[in-house]
Structure 1
Amino acid sequence: MPLALCCVSHSPLLELPGTPPDLVDEVGSALEEAADFVRDCDPELVVIFSPDHYNGFFYRVMPPFCIGNAARGVGDYGTSADPLDVPRDLADACARAVLESGVDVAVSESMDVDHGTVQPLQRLLGDSRARPVIPIFVNSVAAPLGPLHRVRALGTAVGHYLAGLDKRVLIIGSGGLSHDPPVPTLATATGGVRERIIHGGSQTPEQRSARQSAVIEAARDFAAGRGPLRPLNPDWDREFLAIVDSGRLDEFDGWSNTRITTDAGSSAHEVRTWVAAFAAMATQGPYETTVRYYRAAPELIAGFAIRSAQQTIQARP
């Protein structure tokens, strides 16, 4: 059966107070249009490529890719802390197929997923448990990062696996575009922050509240032109979107990680989830993007974008 795709940016600020209501309404309307697309597709299975923000994966062991055979939300930024409905047999078979294709991928029998996974599921499906989901973690924050051509290879391997299923499958990519939020790095973190990003551990309600307050304050300063965060880069965002719209995915093989960080910010590497998702989609032939939304939104500390895609219907000769 043909695949369908919906890639979306995410932002914890969509779920927090202080974001301008007109922006929340505009982004919400675009997400609802994407949700309509998903409802029309009526997927029997969802595969989501998503990052993590030191809520489920830590430097104690940091795989480049990981497929969850079971997963639960951590409940950050107003998202659900419920377990996802992961079909273990399909997730395990997917991991085996990816490994057999020559792409190294870890597996998890107890994956913790944060807003980067749960927010798109809730926004597009209405509930994180609405459909069976295979979660695929793509490291997009913790250096060192591998080259984009390996991300594309991951997506291609997953796409070939999905082609063998007699199911309607929706592929989601969650992340991006240009943005440089206050996410800690191993090179600069000290004290308790460094301890957390290496060893992990649950946050107390007080710690989670303090983190949310810090994000709100950073967004307020960024929107006002203050603070140390790197500016958004709408030109870079539009270049990226033009490539996925046209299906020229091999062009990403020439993009260096240094270029991405310099041009678009440290968290712009979340576009890896889009590259993987579109690579999976492309295994079934040409596609066309339908729902198209983009806004440079400093109030969300993000170039916020949405793309849906379906296979191109080719006329018979």
Structure 2
Amino acid sequence: MTLAVLCASHTPLMKDGIADDEVRSSVKQGFESLAKRAEDFAPDLLIQFAPDHFNGFFYEVMPSFCVGINATSLGDWDTSTGPLPVVSDDALQLSEMLLHEGVDVAVSYRMEVDHGFVQIWERMFGNFSRFPTIPIFINSAAPPLPTFKRARLLGEAVGRWAAASGKRVLISASGGLSHDPPTPSILTAPDEVKERLISGRYPSEEVQRARVERVLAAGARAVNGTPEILPVDPDWDAAFIEKLQSGDLEAFDAIAMKDVRAKAGRGGPEVLAWVAAFAALSTQGKYQADLVYYEAIQGWIAGMAMMFAEPKADRA
């Protein structure tokens, strides 16, 4: 069966962060182009790899990977709330197969997801319910983080299951690229912030408002450069995209996550989701990966990229 990959960056600053009208228009056009690619592919099932930002997953129990048997959007950063259209039977079968193949995944019958999962779909289609879905969380924010090799092996196992499913499966990822939002570290945070990182579900309106204001202020400072936030690095992003397009995904195995955080920022490890998605596609042989859009948007603290890929045999 045919597989394809759709990847796009997300950012909490997409709505209210600083960007000129031309940039906003080009981002909108990029999402429209990506949506057309998805519609033309006409998937029976969407499998999405994405991170969380201490909204649904916390240090009280922090898995490296988790398959959602059911999932609900929390509605942060102007995204909508409500249940995702999860195909629970398929999600359970996939999780069992992953464990059988030696990929340790948790499962959740009440997964809560944030803008990392749903924002790109709302930008493409106005809602996150366009396709039946299996969500897979990858820990990208709470060290210790999984390695690129583990993300690659997860993706390859997902790709084998998808290819054997008898369905047209769109594999998706969202995150990064170079991306340094002001995420606190549990090692240095004050006690009240540590508690939020450990068990911070359902924060008060006051806490939510303070968090939003802090991120918006950081984005405003990032436009002109600020020492506490790494600038978006288009060279790092280009090198990452070129590695994906090359098909040599094992080359990522040697990259240490501490180096990613040092060069691409605290949100840089979200690219684990992209590697997992392309690894799933790689199980079908060589692929063609198109860069649909890229812009280093400093006011959004994000290297905004969009890609779509299919097996080369399908392009013949």
TM-score computed with the length of structure 1 as normaliser: 0.96
What residue ranges of structure 2 are gaps of 5+ in the alignment? none
- Aligned equivalent of 1:153: 153
Q: Distance in 1 between matches of 2:124 and 2:160?
A: 24
Query: Is contact 1:9–1:305 with CA below 8 Å preserved after alignment?
Result: yes
Q: Distance in 1 between matches of 2:7 and 2:178?
A: 15
Letter paired with 2:263: D
Q: Distance in 2 between matches of 1:315 and 1:4?
A: 11
1:210: Cα distance to partner?
Answer: 2.2
- Aligned equivalent of 1:306: 306
What residue ranges of structure 1 are gaps of 5+ in the alignment? none
Query: Is contact 1:38–1:125 with CA below 8 Å preserved after alignment?
Result: no
Letter paired with 2:201: G
Q: Deviations over 1:217-246 (max 9, x none)?
A: 110101022351112222111111001011
Letter paired with 1:147: T
1:314: Cα distance to partner?
Answer: 7.2
Cα RMSD over matched residues?
1.5
Matches within 5 A, 1:150-299: 150-299=150-299
Matches within 5 A, 1:84-163: 84-163=84-163
- The alignment partner of 1:62 has SS state of coil
What percentage of aligned pairs have identical amino acids?
43
Query: Is contact 2:19–2:297 with CA below 8 Å preserved after alignment?
Result: no
Q: Distance in 2 between matches of 1:16 and 1:47?
A: 29
Q: Deviations over 1:155-177 (max 9, x none)?
A: 00100000111211111110011
Q: Distance in 2 between matches of 1:315 and 1:257?
A: 34
TM-score computed with the length of structure 2 as normaliser: 0.96
- Aligned equivalent of 2:63: 63
- The alignment partner of 2:176 has SS state of coil
Count of residue pairs brought into register by the alignment? 316
Q: Distance in 1 between matches of 2:177 and 2:306?
A: 10
- The alignment partner of 2:135 has SS state of strand
Q: Deviations over 1:72-94 (max 9, x none)?
A: 01110010111101111000001
Quick check: 119-128 or 7-16, which moved more?
119-128
Query: Is contact 1:177–1:268 with CA below 8 Å preserved after alignment?
Result: yes
1:61: Cα distance to partner?
Answer: 0.2
- The alignment partner of 1:43 has SS state of coil
Query: Is contact 1:76–1:208 with CA below 8 Å preserved after alignment?
Result: no
Quick check: 174-183 or 47-56, which moved more?
174-183
Query: Is contact 1:34–1:291 with CA below 8 Å preserved after alignment?
Result: no
Q: Deviations over 1:175-226 (max 9, x none)?
A: 0111111011111211322111101220223322222121111101010223
1:125: Cα distance to partner?
Answer: 3.9
Query: Is contact 2:294–2:305 with CA below 8 Å preserved after alignment?
Result: yes
- The alignment partner of 1:14 has SS state of coil
Quick check: 122-131 or 215-224, which moved more?
122-131
- The alignment partner of 1:90 has SS state of helix
Q: Distance in 1 between matches of 2:291 and 2:303?
A: 16
- Aligned equivalent of 1:12: 12
Task: Report the CA distance shift for 1:268/1:37 in structure 2 as closer, same or farther (over 3 A).
Answer: same
Q: Distance in 1 between matches of 2:284 and 2:254?
A: 23
- The alignment partner of 1:6 has SS state of strand
1:47: Cα distance to partner?
Answer: 0.6
Q: Deviations over 1:29-57 (max 9, x none)?
A: 11111111011111111111000000000
Q: Distance in 1 between matches of 2:150 and 2:218?
A: 33
Q: Distance in 1 between matches of 2:75 and 2:16?
A: 13
Q: Distance in 2 between matches of 1:130 and 1:315?
A: 25
1:62: Cα distance to partner?
Answer: 0.2
Q: Distance in 2 between matches of 1:41 and 1:124?
A: 14
